């Protein structure tokens, strides 16, 4: 286990916000800086290449507008109106996104580190 503060911060972030899955280290949030930090942690501390990460955007408009899935069209990323001055407004200006790495080794490494930092033993995390 790494002893650096960046490693500990990444593990604690995952403990607080990460999905507790067996084969996927997944973190969902609306803060792009938080997801960028987690991506940096995965790359720098655990050796995950950026090409090995997946990003999903969570959009909840269909249910809110009571539309069927057939109404959904391809999402557009980073497109601003010429009048917007490239500013986002609202509570979640970026929506939410999930950053995921499908790797049992990565998940088990993070779980083991969390238990070591926290001073507890949850065998079900390491099965």
Q: How far is CA 68 from CA 27, 57, 58, 60, in A?
A: 28, 18, 16, 12
Question: What is the pLDDT, as a whole number, of residue 34?
Answer: 94
Between CA 44 and CA 47, with CA 46 as vertex, the angle to 5 degrees is 70
Cβ proximity of 26 and 99 under 8 Å? yes
pLDDT digits (tens, 9 = 90+) for 12-42: 999 999 998 889 999 999 888 999 999 999 9
Q: In the structure encoding, which two tokens stand for residue 99, read together?
A: 């950053």
C-alpha closest to that of 127 among 108, 114, 113, 110: 108
pLDDT digits (tens, 9 = 90+) for 79-118: 666 666 656 556 666 677 888 999 999 999 999 999 999 9
What CA–CA distance (Å, rounded) separates 18 from 43?
A: 16
Which position has the higher pLDDT, 27 or 1? Answer: 27
To which H or E segment does residue 114 belong? helix 104-118
Q: Tell me the domains of the chain and their CATH numbers.
A: 5-66+94-122 (3.10.28.10)
């Amino acid at each position: 286990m790494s002893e650096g503060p960046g490693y500990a911060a990444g593990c604690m972030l995952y403990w607080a916000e990460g999905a507790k899955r067996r084969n996927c280290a997944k973190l969902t949030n609306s803060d792009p800086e938080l997801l960028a930090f987690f991506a940096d942690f995965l790359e720098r501390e655990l050796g995950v290449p950026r090409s090995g990460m997946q990003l999903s955007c969570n959009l909840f408009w269909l249910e809110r507008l009571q539309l069927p899935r057939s109404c959904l069209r391809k999402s557009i990323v980073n497109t601003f109106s010429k009048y917007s001055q490239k500013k986002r407004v609202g509570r979640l200006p970026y929506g939410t996104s999930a950053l995921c790495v499908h790797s049992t080794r990565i998940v088990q490494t993070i779980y083991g580190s969390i238990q070591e930092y926290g001073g507890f033993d949850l065998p079900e995390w390491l099965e």
